[in-house]
Each structure stands twice: as C-alpha cells, then as structure tokens.
Structure 1
Amino acid sequence: MWMSKLARFAQPALQRSTSAVGCRRVWTRGGPGLTAAAHPASCLTSVQHRGHQTVVSASIPKTGHGVRHALALDEERLVEVEWEDGGQSLYPFSWLRDNCQCPLCFLRSAQARRLYLLDVDIHTGVDVVQVTDDNKVSIVWPDQHTSVFDAEWLRKRCFSPAARKTMQEELFINERYYWDCKLHLPTADFNEVLHDDKAALAWLTSLRRVGVVYLRGAPAEQGQLDKLEERLGFLKMTFYGRLWLVQDKPQPNNLAYTSGRFHHHTDYPALPSTPGIQLLHCINPAAEGGESEIVDGFHAALQLLAEDPKAYQILTSVLVDYKDTGADYCEYMLNARKHTISVDQEGRVSGINLNNATRGSVLDLPVQEVQPFYRALRAYVDIMNRPENVVTFQMQAGDLVTFDNTRILHGRKSFISFPDRPRLLEGAYMDWDVVLSRLRVLRKSVQGDI
C-alpha cells in the first residue's frame, strides 16, 4: 500500500529508462500544481496512476547497444562508432586513452584510474581500431598498448547532448516535481524502508524528486532516527549535536524551542555547509495547535521569476549574511554568506537559504541597494505565504517527516502542550552526499549494475 503511494514519484528511477531531464509538475485529485519554468528540452506526457494524474517524461526508445562499425577519424582525432540501430557516437582519442579499462590503467577492485595524466599523450593518434568477435571496440595505440571497451559502457558515455543529459540524470536525479497546496504527501511505512530495498529506494527517490516524504508506523519513542542512520549511512554532526530535541525550553537558544509561531524557513544557513536533509520524528504531539507547514521553495522561486524578474535577479546575486551564536553541544559562533536563491551553471534553481531568525544585521551592500533587496526578499516571502503554496499537516505520535532542507521551507503554528506531556520531536540532519550514495547502492541492489 505504501509503495503504491510512492510509485508515481519514484517510478522514473525504478525503471531503467533514458528519459529527458526536465522539471515536472505534480498533479493531484484537485488538479495540477504549477510549474513556472519547465525546460524546453523536456519531453513530457501525461499518464494515469491509481486515480491520480501525474506528469512523466516520455522515454527515449530503448535500442540495442551492439556495435556495427568502428573507425578512426585521424584528422578530427576521434573514433566514430556506428551502432546496430543506426546511431553514431564520437569519442576523442585523448578521452579513450585516459579511460582505458585494462588492469594496468584501471584498478577494478577500487573502480579507480591507475593511469596518471602525465603518462597520457593527450595528442596521441591510433594505430588500429576494430570491433572484436564479442562486439567490443579494441584500439591499439602507437606505443602498442591495447584498450578494449565494452559496447554498453561506451554507449552510455556518448558525448551527444541527449546522452549526457541522460547520464547526469542517472547519476544525480536532477529532475524535480514542483508542487503547491494540492500536494498529497508521499507516504511510506517506516519499517518497510528499514527492511525492504525497493521501499527504501522509492522513499529516497521521492525525497529527491518531491522534496518531502512522510513515514508512518515508527514507535513513539526516541531512537528511531538511529535506525534510519544505520539504514542510510551516518547523520550530520552540528553544533546542536548528532540528534536534538525540539521542545519548549525556559531559556531557548533557538526559536524552534518555543511554543510560538515559527515562520517558514530553511535550517542552518549560518553553517557554511548547510544540511541537505532534515528528519523530524514526533514523539509527543501538541494538545492544541502545532500544525506543521511546508512550502516548495523551488516552486515559489520560479513564481517569483515569472512575476518579478528583477527581484529574482537580486535574490540570486546578493549574498546575505547569516549568524548563529550560543551554546548547545558546545559553544558556537557561526557566520556564513548565502544567496537566498542559488542557481546552477545552467541557471536552474538549485538551493534555497532563508531563515528570518538568523539573518544577520550585517548587510554588505551599497546603501542605495538596501531597499531594493528588502523589496525583493519581501516579494519572495509574500509568494511563499500564499495559501495556495502552503501544505499543512498535523504530526501524530510516531509520525516522521523527511525533507530536503535545501529546497523545502518548513514552519509551525503556535501550540499548547498537555500539562503532563510536553510536545516533543527528535530531529537530525543528513547530507545529500550520504543520501545519494545510499540511493545509488540501493538502485544497484534492486536493478543490478546500471
């Protein structure tokens, strides 16, 4: 049952598809969420899945990877491979020599290159290129060293734009589903993700694509995040410790440790290495209030781009000072400078840093640029607080929410605790490198070597 709820988000990674990379919108029973900027290169189609409508990439048709011919183009310094399906791929001589897979050049047990770049003639030619009887590409170099390449290995590393996009998607799962208040939270069973590789893979894939997954069925007692740590790798140690308790404290060193309203934010922008994932486990719910709220910061950023490009330009270019000072696991004085909206080299939104509580009073801007910055930041916060962009839910004892802290802004309404049982959550962080590593290990376990 839980797997079916995750399947529509995780399906592209559970299938061995070569879908085009793009941004998707999540469709729910109530209708479509908005996607402000799907990439033109995306090839999208609509399918039905258990009463929900979702948008998925149309796969590039699968074809055989057998080699028909291979020849050297000496003038261009390329090897041209013609495939049995009629396609062609080009490979530079220098790249092929650098990536020789023989035992002298490559340590297979470590999946690591032995060949040092100073020992590679990057201007090399080739003596012989041929297709072997077992359909591999064999190259004899001028020094008579021989390199043999598996056909499927070569095909996946083709330098065409489509193949490169497919490989980047396979490695990093860059595709995202943007959403608004109509989102039906992807949900999984806590015990299933602990013990079933397919369930764990679906959980982590949905976490990557949607940004949030709800886990049900955990015992309402401390120690459950330790089990997730053992399943995934290791938690991120911070100045609040490896694990921390969210509760109303008499002398709080964080706004989370109060019973008041806590507005939408990302955690720890004052830390130079911002945590990638946040895990929150509800042990004691509130007697009244305390509803959790989440907002898709990527979706809100693209709305800002569409409605107010100047504000978007400011928030993607101005570095904001964040600070955090106090004592918890140990004393700390943190400072970091972050873009409110980070973008990658292709201009896609790649991260959000926004925390009103720890945004510093130092603002390293010329005086005439201060007011435009405030106007831009307010425009973004206004969009995030629109009711149509906010998902609200009430955590019950045992519930556990996992979300992308570099994308999802979370908050909480004010609450009143039971007199004899204060509201209590246990929290932890993980880095995306740990989670993506485990995702790839699980994918290999479930699907075999991709």
Structure 2
Amino acid sequence: MWMSTLARFARPVFQRSPSPVVCKAMKACRRMELPAPSFCMTPVHIRRHQTLGSAPMPVAAHSMRHVRALDEERLMAVEWEDGGQSLYPFTWLRDNCQCPRCTLQSAEARLLLMADLDIHTGMDSVEVTKDGKVSIVWPDQHMSVFDAEWLKKRCFSDAARQAMQEELFLNERYYWDATLHIPQADFQEVLHDDGAALAWLLALRRVGIVHLKGAPAEQGQVARLAERIGYLRLTFYGHTWQVQDKSMANNVAYTSGKLSLHTDYPALHFAPGVQFLHCINQAKEGGESEAVDGFHMAEQLQREDPEAFRTLTSLHVDFTDTGTDYCDFMLQSKNRIIDVDSEGKVTRINYNNATRDSVLDLPLHQVQPFYRALRAYVDIMNRPENVVTYTMKPGDIVTFDNWRLLHGRKSYISRPDRLRHLEGAYLDWDEVMSRLRIVRRNVHGDAWASDKRSHLHRKT
C-alpha cells in the first residue's frame, strides 16, 4: 500500500506516539490503492527527518509561564510551562498586531501601513492575561493582544521555522528510480472525496507522479480534474490540447516518433508546474510512456560530475517555440537546465531538446563545456535503472510535476480505426498547493498544523 510510504514520512515526526490526527490522515489515504514506491532520500532529507523526530513533545495550549520585555535586545521573551523559551522582536510584534485597526480579519490581511510602523519601537508593558494571552501596551498607548498558539506557530527558532515552511510548502521529496511503483488513485473518488483528493495531492507533491484510474475515455476529463483544483493554465496550445499524430504538426509531440525525455514548455520563463495527460485511445503498437525523477538525476550528476552540475546550474540556455494553435506565437526564453535555490537545492528542471534553440548565447569557450555537461545529465537520465516505463490505457490519467519529472514516449504505430489520442492540460503549483492546503484543512481541521508544530517549542 502507498500508505506505508506516507507513514514512513510521518513516523519520524510523530515517533513517540501517533496522534489522532495522524491516524485520521492514514485512514483517509487508505482509500487510494497506491503501492509503496521504492525511493531513496538524500542525506539532507534524512537529517531533516532526524531533526524533527528528535524534537520535544507538545506544549499544551495556554501554557505560558511568564513573559517579559528585554529592552536592550528589543525582544519579548516567552517562557513556557515546560521550561522552553521563545523570543519575538518588538518590531515584528507591532507590525503584526491583530486588532481591528491593524488587521482586516475577514481577509487575514494587514491594514497597518509600513509607513506608519515605528521600526524602532519599544514596549511600555507586557503581561500574560488571565485567559493565557499576551497583552502589550506600546509607547503610543496602542494595545496588542496575542494568542499563545498564534505565537507558538510563529516562533523564530530554527526548528520551528523549518517545520512551518515544511507545513506550508511540503518541500521534502521522495526520490525514485526505475523500481518505482507509480501511486494510483480512483478518478471518481478524487473528484468527490476530500480524503482521496488530499492523498492524491500529497503523493503528487512528494513523489511527483500519480496515476488516476477509471476516468471516462472521452475528452473533457482533464478539465473536470482541473476544476477540482481551481482552473486551467491557458497556453498557446489552448486550455487543453490533443496529442495526436497530425499532418504539418506544430509540435513534435503531435507526431508518431519517439519523444526524448523532457519537461514541457521551457520556452516560457515560467513553465507550467503540473501536467495532466488523459489516455482516450492507445496506439496499436508502441507508444509506451517513460519518466525519470529529474531532481534525483540532478543529485546523481552533482555526485558523479560536480563540474557538469555547476555548468548546468549557472549557464542560461535559449529555448524557442514558434507556430499557430490557440493563437499564433513566437516564444523566446533563457533558462538554466537545472534551477537551484540559494542553498543549492534543486527547484526546477528546464529541458526540452526539441525546443532548445540553435541560438546559444554563450562565450565561445563555454560552448563545449555546456555540451559536455548536458550530455552527462542526459546519459544519467537514460540509464535503464533510472527510467520508469508504463503503458497508459483508455481512461488512465497521469498527473505529474512538470518542474521535476522529465517524461517521454516511445514511437508508435496507429491504424485508422485506432488512432492514439491523449488529451493534456496544465496547472500551476500555486493553485495546486492552495487546494492541497484547503482539503487538508477540510479533512483534518486546524489540528493537523498545530499537532506538527507542537513538537518544536520546548526550547529555541
């Protein structure tokens, strides 16, 4: 069961005793018939799990023992009943006053203008109220009141900040190779049940690919699935697009030839984050789909050929796409093959050999090193032990992370009465993550977040 993998993610965080919230999450996810994928996690991932796993147990609600102002440091210190301490800057507290003058609660939006914020403010007084809240009087006699749980959630300790970012963005990934059993879910359950939708979106985020089974083998199903999330990403190929062998094709995907491993739309500076492909009709022969974990492959490249990794994460490469579809288009972009964040963590892959431009805006001495680096990366991706191969059947929808996975297709042979036909659509990760947070709240309530955070507040 795929649930075993989710349990492996959750177990380090809740290793002392599984909470009712975790049990509910497991039960909800069991509705998905998802075999446990083989995956490997980098040492960074393992270290993070160990850090969270060793975090202390929860602090009960309204458990502040004492609060005081450290005027010289301009920090407010909260001492919790379990002996831990959290520190909060004066300026941040004043900036985030929750009173009706400073915050529009109906929109959870700040009303206090930055121009009106005294960034050097002090405190006149601070105390714990009888109902366990923090009350602050500022030098202009404005009063702010903060709930203990609200403060806990925003603790500035390294562990609490890390946990909050993981809760908000789910950045941890399960890396995999050819041994992956692609997670599966039921299309109708995902459409109509929040528990099934949550399990699907969690797997999509963590693993990067999920198969949905049981969709009608007719056009329009990717649009129905997108409406479950939010809305379709409109591109120059339309809201949805038909992958078929077409005469005078305006895209290599609209041919019967082999498609090498690629991400879609690197000719855009902001490529779609999530892709849906629905099999309406399969070819008579061939047409098997292929996928690799681009993040895992980048990790292998960094380990085996650090110079190639540095090249592909530093040089900007030109991509182009020209034609007419939803409307006429002439795209140009400059993207790095491998995007990394400020900490060197891979965040996006941008590679499509078909739309890589003949224009190569590099100094002459960097051209050959670029080709060597790109070939090294492609060779790693094409190793049989790294490639997952699968055949889509009518009614199957594959949903995957277009920033992470590279996908391809073997050549195929169709016949007039059995033409291969897939319908595709795009979404962006912002809207997908928005829906994930909403269905998570619907399924688990606010307890899901507070249960995870509560491990992190015994000490800073």
TM-score of the superposed pair, with normalisation by structure 1: 0.91
2:53 aligned partner, one-letter code: A
Mapped contact 1:36–1:306 kept (Cα < 8 A): no
Quick check: which one's strand share is greater?
1
1:355 aligns with 2:352: yes
**Structure 1 segment 16-415 matched on structure 2, within 5 A:** 33-39=39-45, 41-44=47-50, 58=53, 60-65=55-60, 66-415=63-412
Aligned match of 1:49: none
1:370-391 superposed Cα distances (whole Å, 9 cap, x missing partner): 1011000000000000001000
Quick check: which one's helix share is greater?
2
Instruction: Tell me the secondary structure at the aligned position of residue 185 of structure 1.
Output: coil
Q: State the alpha-carbon separation in 1 of the partners of residues 426 and 36 from structure 2.
A: 33
Q: State the alpha-carbon separation in 2 of the partners of residues 14 and 263 from structure 1.
A: 38
Instruction: Tell me the secondary structure at the aligned position of residue 388 of structure 1.
Output: helix
Q: 1:41 to 1:139 in 2, by over 3 A?
A: farther
Q: State the alpha-carbon separation in 2 of the partners of residues 422 and 319 from structure 1.
A: 39
Instruction: Tell me the secondary structure at the aligned position of residue 138 of structure 1.
Output: strand
Instruction: Tell me the secondary structure at the aligned position of residue 91 of structure 2.
Output: helix
Unaligned runs of 5+ in 2: 17-33, 450-460
Question: Which 10-residue stretch deviates more, 440-449 or 295-304?
Answer: 440-449
Percent identity over paired residues: 64
CA drift at 1:286: 1.2
CA drift at 1:33: 3.9
CA drift at 1:63: 1.0
Q: 1:31 to 1:219 in 2, by over 3 A?
A: closer
Q: State the alpha-carbon separation in 2 of the partners of residues 14 and 37 from structure 1.
A: 17
1:143 aligned partner, one-letter code: D
Aligned match of 1:54: none
CA drift at 1:16: 9.1
Q: 1:138 to 1:17 in 2, by over 3 A?
A: farther
Unaligned runs of 5+ in 1: 20-27, 46-56
Q: 1:34 to 1:13 in 2, by over 3 A?
A: closer
CA drift at 1:117: 1.2
Mapped contact 1:260–1:415 kept (Cα < 8 A): yes
Mapped contact 2:283–2:412 kept (Cα < 8 A): yes
1:434 aligned partner, one-letter code: E
Aligned match of 1:48: none
1:22-66 superposed Cα distances (whole Å, 9 cap, x missing partner): xxxxxx999954445525741349xxxxxxxxxxx7373431142
Aligned match of 2:417: 420
Q: State the alpha-carbon separation in 1 of the partners of residues 50 and 120 from structure 2.
A: 42
Q: State the alpha-carbon separation in 2 of the partners of residues 367 and 78 from structure 1.
A: 55
CA drift at 1:226: 1.8
Mapped contact 2:35–2:182 kept (Cα < 8 A): no
Q: 1:220 to 1:342 in 2, by over 3 A?
A: same
Q: State the alpha-carbon separation in 2 of the partners of residues 420 and 127 from structure 1.
A: 81
Mapped contact 1:14–1:202 kept (Cα < 8 A): no
Q: 1:305 to 1:390 in 2, by over 3 A?
A: same
Aligned match of 1:24: none
Q: State the alpha-carbon separation in 2 of the partners of residues 82 and 388 from structure 1.
A: 53
Q: State the alpha-carbon separation in 2 of the partners of residues 58 and 347 from structure 1.
A: 24
Q: State the alpha-carbon separation in 2 of the partners of residues 357 and 305 from structure 1.
A: 25
Q: 1:10 to 1:318 in 2, by over 3 A?
A: farther
1:227-267 superposed Cα distances (whole Å, 9 cap, x missing partner): 11221100100000000000001111111111111110000
Q: 1:326 to 1:29 in 2, by over 3 A?
A: closer
Q: 1:31 to 1:286 in 2, by over 3 A?
A: closer
Structure having greater relative contact order (Cα 8 Å, sep ≥ 6): 2
Instruction: Tell me the secondary structure at the aligned position of residue 99 of structure 2.
Output: coil
Instruction: Tell me the secondary structure at the aligned position of residue 70 of structure 1.
Output: strand
Mapped contact 2:297–2:380 kept (Cα < 8 A): yes
Q: State the alpha-carbon separation in 1 of the partners of residues 36 and 59 from structure 2.
A: 41
Mapped contact 1:247–1:424 kept (Cα < 8 A): yes
Instruction: Tell me the secondary structure at the aligned position of residue 43 of structure 1.
Output: helix
Aligned CA RMSD, in angstroms, stands at 2.2
> Segments of 4+ in structure 1 off by > 2 A?
4-19, 28-41, 57-62
Q: State the alpha-carbon separation in 1 of the partners of residues 180 and 287 from structure 2.
A: 20
Question: Which 10-residue stretch deviates more, 331-340 or 223-232?
Answer: 223-232
1:359-380 superposed Cα distances (whole Å, 9 cap, x missing partner): 0011111101110110000000
Mapped contact 2:226–2:232 kept (Cα < 8 A): yes
Select which of 426, 433, 440 maps to 1:443. 440
Q: State the alpha-carbon separation in 2 of the partners of residues 60 and 403 from structure 1.
A: 33
1:103-152 superposed Cα distances (whole Å, 9 cap, x missing partner): 11111001000111111111111011111111111111111111111111
1:43 aligned partner, one-letter code: H
Mapped contact 2:318–2:360 kept (Cα < 8 A): yes
Mapped contact 2:12–2:49 kept (Cα < 8 A): no
Q: State the alpha-carbon separation in 2 of the partners of residues 234 and 131 from structure 1.
A: 46
Question: Which 10-residue stretch deviates more, 61-70 or 130-139?
Answer: 61-70
Q: 1:355 to 1:319 in 2, by over 3 A?
A: same
Mapped contact 1:311–1:377 kept (Cα < 8 A): yes
Q: 1:210 to 1:39 in 2, by over 3 A?
A: closer
* Number of residue equivalences: 428
TM-score of the superposed pair, with normalisation by structure 2: 0.89
CA drift at 1:316: 0.2
